[in-house]
Amino acid sequence: MDLQAAASRGDARAVKLIVTAGGRIRNWHTKRSPLALAAGNGHTKALRILIESGSFDPEELDKHNRTPLSWGAARGHEGVVRMLIERSDVDPDSVDDRGWTPLSWAAGGGHVAVVKLLLRKNANLNARDRVGLTPLAWASANGQKDVVKVLLGQNCLDLNAQDNWGRTPFSRAAAEGEAKHRDIMALFIANSKSCLEIPDYEGRTPLFWAAGLGRFKAVRDLLNAGATVNTKDRDGRTPLWRAAEDGHDSVVKLLREAGKKSQQESGAGNGLSMVGIKDRNDRTPIMVAAQGNHIKVLKILLFESKELVNDGDRDGRTAISWAAGYGHDAAMEILLSEGQANASLPDHRGQTPLLWAAKEGHRTSALLLLRCADVQPDYARHVDNRSPLSLAAEHGNYAVAELLLAHDVNINTKDKRGRTAIMYAAGAGHEKFVDLICQKGTDLEPLYKDKDGMTLLMYAAKGGLHALARQLMEDGAEIDAMDRHKRTALMFASGGGHIEMVELLIARGTDVEARTALGLKAINYARIEEHKSVQRLLVAALQKQKKATRNNTPMYQGPGAHKPPPVAAVRKSLVQLPLAAKSSSKRLSTQVAHTVQEVWNSTQLSAEQFMYVVVITRRLAKVWLAKARTG
C-alpha cells in the first residue's frame, strides 16, 4: 500500500509507517497530496500524523489550486476543518481556480457547522468567485436554507451583492422556485424588502426570472410581498410578456390578475394596457404566444383583449402572421375564432399570413387562411410583387402549390423582376413542382426574358432540369442567349455542377468559348465551384471547338466561325501601324500598311485571323525599322 491509498482510507497506522520510511508522497495521476486525500475523506487522525511529520505543506495546492482545507470544507468534515484552521499557516480564504473559498464550498454544500467554524475564523463572507457569486449566492441558488439563515445573521454581509450578470442571491433563489428556495426568499424579504426590485444588468428583476421560468408559487410569493408587476427589462419585456413567450399559462393568468388589480387600485385602467405592452420590436404578449403555439395563454390574453389581436410589430407582422409562418394551426384557429383576427392583413413588406404560410410550406395553415372570405390566393402586393404560388415554387413547397392551384391562381403572374412561378421552381431545381405547373397548361415562353435578361432555359440550366431544357430547345429557345451580365445557360449549368445539362447544351452546339462581361467562360464557373467532371467535359469541348475553327476554310465557315471585322475596326488597326514604326520612315510604314491591306483584300480571313496578321505585322515593322536605322 502506498501513502496515497493509506491517507485516502484513513489508515493512520499505515500512514505513520510509510511516512517514517520515507515513502512516495504524491499521486502524480490526481496531483493531490496525501494531506488533501485525508482531508477530503475526513480522516483526522491520518491528517494529524501527516501534518506533524513536517513533510507536508498544509497549504499545498492540487491541480485545481485547491487546498486540504478546501476539500475538507466542501465535504463538510468539521473535525478536519477545525484542525486546519487552528494552524497559523492555513489561510481560511484560499482561492481555487474557480475563485471559490472554503466558505463558498461549505455554503453551497449546506454544511452549517463548517460555515460557522469558518466565520468564527473571520473568513470573508462576501468573497466573490470568478463569476462574482458570493457564499450567500451559492447557498441561495442551492436551496441551503440553514446556511442562508446563518449568513443573514452576520453584520458585514452584502445582502444584495451582484454577480457578473448583475444578479443577486435573492434573484437566484426566485429563479429556482422550489419550496426550499421559497423559504429562503421569505428569509430575505423578512430581512429587507430592498431585494424585491433589484434588476440585473439586463433589467430583469427577480419577478421577471420567476415568471419566465414558470415558477408559479414563487411569482405568487413575490406579488404578495409587493413586487412591481410591470417592470421592463432592457428589451422592453415585462414578466407577463416573458411568461407568455414560454407558455406558462398559470403564471400569465396570475400576472394579468395582479396587473388588473394594481391598475384598478391606482385608477389607471382595467389591465388591458398590460397585455398590450410591447417590447423594443413592438411585439406583444399575444404575438409571442401565437409564435410559440401556446393555446392556453392565447385564450387568457384574448378573453378581454380581442382588440389587440391585429396589432403589428415593428415589421408590421400580426399575431396570425407569426402563427402562419411557423405553421401553428391550433393558434391560428384560436386567433380566427376567438380573436376575429384579420387573416389578410399584410406586413410592411406586403407579406400576408398566406404568403408566410406558402413560403414556409405549411399546407394546413394555408388551407385555414384560404377558407377566410377576405383572403386572396392571387395576392401579389408583396414588396417585390411576389405571389403565394411564386414563394411556394421557390422553396419547393409542393403541397401548398397544389392547394393554391386548386383555387385557380394565375400561374403566369410576374413579379417586379418579371419572374414567374415556374422560373423560381426551375432555378431551384424543383422538378416535381415544374411538372405540376406544366400540367396546368402554363405557357413556357422559350424566348421570354425577365428584367435581368434571364430566360427559362437559363433557370432550367441553373437548377439542372435537363428535361425542361430539352423541351425549351425543341420549342425554339435561344441556346446562347445572354442575361444582362452576358451569362449563358451553359455557365449556369457549369457553376451548378449539372453534368447532364452541360452535355445536353454542348450536344446542341452551345458556344463553350462565350465570355461574360467580366471575361469569364463556362469553365471558369466550373473551376470556381470545383466541379471536376464538368471541367473535363468543357476542356474536351473547347479543344474540339478550337480544332473546328482551325479547319474552317473560305468554302465553309462552321457554326462557331468568326465574321470579318467591321471596316472601322480594320481602319483603326491599319492606322496604328505607322505608330508602331514610330513614323520615322513614312515610306516603310506606308508599305507595311499597303501589305496588310492587300492581304485583307485578297483573302477571306476571319476576324481572329486578321487581327493575328496585324499583330505580327506590327512586330515586323519594329524589326524592319530598327534595321533601317542601323543600315
pLDDT in tens, 485-525: 999 999 999 999 999 999 999 999 999 999 998 889 999 99
- With beta carbons less than 8 A apart as the criterion, state whether 55 and 26 touch: no
Of 270, 352, 331, 330, residue with least CA distance to 305: 270
Instruction: Classify residue 309 as exposed, middle or buried by CB count within 10 Å of its CB (0-12, 13-18, 19+).
Output: buried
Average pLDDT estimate for 207-213: 98
C-alpha–C-alpha distance, residues 80 and 113, integer Å: 12
- Strand pairing partners for 32? 27
Query: How many alpha carbons lie under 13 Å from residue 473 in its C-beta half-sphere?
Result: 21
Q: What is the pLDDT of residue 631?
A: 54
Average pLDDT estimate for 572-583: 46
With a cut of 90, say whether residue 10 has pLDDT above it. no
Residues 6+ apart with CB under 8 A from 556: none
Of 57, 41, 50, 42, residue with least CA distance to 3: 50
With a cut of 50, say whether residue 577 has pLDDT above it. no
**Amino acid symbol at 93:** D
373-396 pLDDT tens trace: 889 998 877 778 899 999 999 999
C-alpha–C-alpha distance, residues 55 and 48, integer Å: 12
Averaged pLDDT of the chain: 86
Classified as helix, coil or strand, 424 is helix
Average pLDDT estimate for 174-198: 96
Q: Which residue has the higher pLDDT, 580 or 140?
A: 140
With a cut of 70, say whether residue 608 has pLDDT above it. no
Rounded to whole angstroms, the maximal C-alpha distance in the chain is 120
42 backbone dihedrals φ, ψ, rounded to 5°: 75, 25
Cα→Cα distances 252→176, 215, 221, 244, 285, Å: 18, 11, 15, 6, 10
Q: How many CB atoms lie within 10 A of CB 453?
A: 15
pLDDT class for 553, splitting at 50, 70, 90?
very low
Q: What is the pLDDT of residue 57?
A: 81
- With beta carbons less than 8 A apart as the criterion, state whether 133 and 144 touch: no
Give CA 359 to chain center in angstroms.
Answer: 19
Of 619, 630, 627, residue with least CA distance to 580: 619
Angle between helices 319-326 and 363-370 in degrees, nearest 10:
140
154-170 pLDDT tens trace: 999 999 999 999 999 99
pLDDT class for 570, splitting at 50, 70, 90?
very low
C-alpha–C-alpha distance, residues 345 and 351, integer Å: 8
C-alpha–C-alpha distance, residues 265 and 259, integer Å: 10
C-alpha–C-alpha distance, residues 58 and 308, integer Å: 68
Average pLDDT estimate for 587-610: 56
End-to-end, the C-alpha distance of the chain in Å comes to 107
Q: Which residue has the higher pLDDT, 200 or 60?
A: 200
Q: Which residue has the higher pLDDT, 33 or 337?
A: 337
Q: What is the pLDDT of residue 13?
A: 62
Q: What is the pLDDT of residue 160?
A: 96
Average pLDDT estimate for 552-561: 42
449 backbone dihedrals φ, ψ, rounded to 5°: -120, 140
Average pLDDT estimate for 223-228: 96
With a cut of 60, say whether residue 575 has pLDDT above it. no
Classified as helix, coil or strand, 407 is coil
540-549 pLDDT tens trace: 998 887 777 6
Average pLDDT estimate for 120-136: 97
Q: What is the pLDDT of residue 620?
A: 63
With a cut of 90, say whether residue 246 has pLDDT above it. yes
Query: Using alpha carbons only, what angle is made at residue 354 by residues 352 and 359, rounded to the nearest 5 degrees?
Result: 100
pLDDT class for 605, splitting at 50, 70, 90?
low
Query: How many alpha carbons lie under 13 Å from residue 620 in its C-beta half-sphere?
Result: 13
Q: What is the pLDDT of residue 607?
A: 47
Average pLDDT estimate for 233-241: 97
Residues 6+ apart with CB under 8 A from 564: 604, 605, 606, 607, 610
Query: Using alpha carbons only, what angle is made at residue 508 by residues 507 and 513, rounded to the nearest 5 degrees?
Result: 85
281-338 pLDDT tens trace: 999 999 999 999 999 999 999 988 899 999 999 999 999 999 999 999 999 999 999 9
User: For the chain, how big is the Rg over CA atoms in Å?
Assistant: 41
Average pLDDT estimate for 575-597: 54
Of 355, 378, 365, residue with least CA distance to 332: 365
Average pLDDT estimate for 572-601: 53
C-alpha–C-alpha distance, residues 315 and 322, integer Å: 11
Query: How many alpha carbons lie under 13 Å from residue 264 in its C-beta half-sphere?
Result: 8
pLDDT class for 440, splitting at 50, 70, 90?
confident
Q: What is the pLDDT of residue 566?
A: 40
With a cut of 90, say whether residue 62 has pLDDT above it. no
Q: What is the pLDDT of residue 560?
A: 40
pLDDT class for 562, splitting at 50, 70, 90?
very low
Average pLDDT estimate for 168-182: 97
Q: What is the pLDDT of residue 169?
A: 98
C-alpha–C-alpha distance, residues 184 and 561, integer Å: 91
Q: What is the pLDDT of residue 26?
A: 52
pLDDT above 90 as % of the chain: 67
C-alpha cell at 492: 449556369
71 backbone dihedrals φ, ψ, rounded to 5°: -65, -45
Of 243, 169, 249, 250, residue with least CA distance to 206: 169
Q: What is the pLDDT of residue 600?
A: 55
Q: What is the pLDDT of residue 468?
A: 96
pLDDT class for 582, splitting at 50, 70, 90?
very low
Q: What is the pLDDT of residue 565?
A: 41
Give CA 387 to chain center in angstroms.
Answer: 27
The CB-based long-range contact list for 407-410 (8 Å cut-off, 24+ gap) reads 407/370, 407/377, 408/377, 409/377, 409/378, 410/378
SS (H, E, C) 402-444: HHHHHCCCCCCCCCCCCCCHHHHHHHCCCHHHHHHHHHCCCCC
Average pLDDT estimate for 458-475: 95
75-103 pLDDT tens trace: 999 999 999 999 888 999 999 999 999 99
Average pLDDT estimate for 131-144: 98
Q: Which fold has domain 463-550?
A: 1.25.40
Q: Is the pTM higher than 0.85?
A: no
Q: How many CB atoms lie within 10 A of CB 579?
A: 11
Q: What is the pLDDT of residue 388?
A: 94
**Amino acid symbol at 291:** Q
Of 542, 417, 551, 545, residue with least CA distance to 483: 417
With a cut of 70, say whether residue 25 has pLDDT above it. no
